[in-house]
Amino acid sequence: MDQLRTQTINQLPSGAALIKRELCYTICFIFILISSIIALNLGSSSRSLPLFRFDHFFPRKLPPPFPHTHPLRACDYSYGKWVRVDKKNPVLLYDEDCPFLDPGFRCHRNGRKDIEFLKWRWQPHGCYLPRFNASDFLERSRNGRIVFAGDSMGRNQWESLLCMLAQAVSNKSTIFEVNGSPITKHKGFLSMKFQDYNLTVEYYRTPFLAVLGRRPITTPPQVKLIVKVDQLHWRSKQWKGANVIVLNTGHWWNKEKIAKMY
């Protein structure tokens, strides 16, 4: 009887062996649980279980949001395309009641019927273009100068920016032309000041940006004027000190318009 009891006791595992076995079971269970969770997360994009996501520890490589772009390359806002405006996120526009619009640039009042041109926005490739914030723009441009120089296309851009910024100014009388010139003036230059921000947004009519001169005596008679491409327009002296200069060269690419004007 004593011999049988001794054999039975020897066959039972010791306390250390029991602990070791339980620990092994626990580790195996945890390993299987973690493996299952990782497998589920890799196979699903659901965010319904944020406590069981391992994105912080195992970040996934996501493809760039736009094709043909390098994720580390600087954004080129000039490279993109026009896309239709999302109805759920419409573009905030100014209307033709803006007091800074030249009468000739008021499309609807001059007979344009369609409004489809208002339903597009510019989308750069590889970039997120934030919505325009007039208040933020004015604050960041405080005590500065923004200069537009060029032909009527530059004037369109200049007037458009004035109307966009004016939406953030409650008292429109604090926006005025520095020299008291009317907005309908087509030649020379105009300088609109946002008094509350000590900001001027200026336009200089310089269609070629370069100097126009008389033709040399030796040139053929059909030559009326010459363009001195190595000399900036004399008004460029007034651009000095500007924080931003926006240049426009539309006249360089329109032979018929040049012939009519000069």
Secondary structure (3-state) at 247:
strand
pLDDT at res. 25: 62
Other Cβ atoms closer than 10 A to 10: 7
158/152 Cα distance (integer angstroms): 10
Nearest alpha carbon to residue 189 among 148, 160, 157: 148
The 10s digit of each residue's pLDDT in 105-122 is 888 888 888 888 888 888
The 10s digit of each residue's pLDDT in 167-178 is 999 999 999 999
pLDDT at res. 129: 83
pLDDT at res. 45: 43
pLDDT at res. 29: 59
90/110 Cα distance (integer angstroms): 25
70/207 Cα distance (integer angstroms): 37
Secondary structure (3-state) at 80:
strand
The pTM assigned to this predicted structure is 0.66
As given in the structure block, the two tokens for residue 243 are 């924080």
The residue to which tokens 């004016």 are assigned? 166
Low-confidence stretches of the chain (pLDDT < 70) are: 1-73, 89, 91-92, 185-186, 256-262
191/12 Cα distance (integer angstroms): 98
As a whole number, the mean pLDDT across the chain is 76
191/200 Cα distance (integer angstroms): 6
DSSP letters, 189-236, are: EEEEEEGGGTEEEEEEE-TTSEEEEEPPTTS-TT--EEEEEEEE-GGG
Instruction: Please list, in sequence order, all residues whose beta carbon lies within 8 angstroms of the beta carbon of residue 162, skipping any fewer than 6 positions away.
Output: 98, 100, 175, 192, 201
pLDDT at res. 39: 54
Other Cβ atoms closer than 10 A to 189: 19
The 10s digit of each residue's pLDDT in 205-220 is 988 888 888 878 888 8
Nearest alpha carbon to residue 186 among 224, 159, 226, 219: 159
pLDDT at res. 157: 92
